Structure 1
Amino acid sequence: MDEDEWDNFEVAYRAAYRPVLQFLRRRLPPGDAEDAAAEVFTVAWRRWGDRRGAPLPWLYGIARKVAANHRRASGRAEELGKRLETSATESTQASAEDDALDRLGAARALARLSATDREVLLLVSWDGLDVGDAAKVMGRSRAAFAVQLHRARVRLERMLAHVDRAPVREQPMATEGRRR
């Protein structure tokens, strides 16, 4: 962005921040609006050269999408909370030891994957992004990310199949430098 464009962005930011924040406050919980506003202007800064028309309506368009993403994320968090609550109820019926060992085994398997495989899996399963959004985060095409996700899932399944259910002290994680 050249200096004139930067100046134009700064003028638009100063004029539009409060209206965009108010727009977001009407659509999001109070604690989320400021973070969402920061995200709106981050996106706007990256895409400043692509804008058409007056800045405020364009920024509202970005804010609408950011708010929708925040609502989806909140919905996923609520759904995760419900699943965890249900899981906690169900796990009390199962053996606490078996549950703990299963989680440790999954943690061990995940730790043995490459950092990239872990990131790919966590973006989709933990962060709840769809393949297209996760691909953007990783800077890959949707197709390349889908292949990478499939391969990471296959590697994780293989790791899970080979994870021993022995206590942690008897089976160190790969990050400690030794494997059994």
Structure 2
Amino acid sequence: MGRAGCAQVDEWERFEQAFRGCYRQVVRFLWRRLPPQAVEDAASEVFVIAWERWGTLRGDPLPWLYGIARRVAANAVRAQERSARLEGRLRGSGVATVPGVDGQVLSALGAVDVLGHLSARDREVLMLVTWDGLDAGQAAGVLGCSRGAFLVRLHRARRHLECALADPGDPVPERESESADGSVGR
């Protein structure tokens, strides 16, 4: 086996190690964002994409895999919403589904109502830090923004969460506009 063959084997071993070390965390990440029946397929898709892009990995694989999983989950949610709209039209009603975090557990805690008052963006920022255990730099990598921009988003999301917790019936304050570079304007 030549040098290229050895390098490919080394890369496969590194990928396999990342797969074994991160699979359960990626599944948990997806579980909070997708209906249970979609999680395994989405996890498989995450690791297929990861292998195809393995050469682009820099640093810790978990935040990088979360970034891939986030996009896979978003695509799955969009597909499910399209399917639900089509089914609703076929049945003559506007049936829609809302996938997301484990509804039974959060319902028992009353958290579904509070989280429902937050924007999807605020929920995502809070989940990356609190439920997925990422630090600001890793979470910023998942979202594809700078650490500073992520910290601004996290601050806003926490402020919105505080407002929703104070009075779940009140709408969350109007969102400040944010440019792609993370600068803020009103």
Give the TM-score taking structure 1 as reference length: 0.47
Q: From the CA coordinates, give the structure whose radius of gyration is larger.
A: 1
Higher helix share: 1
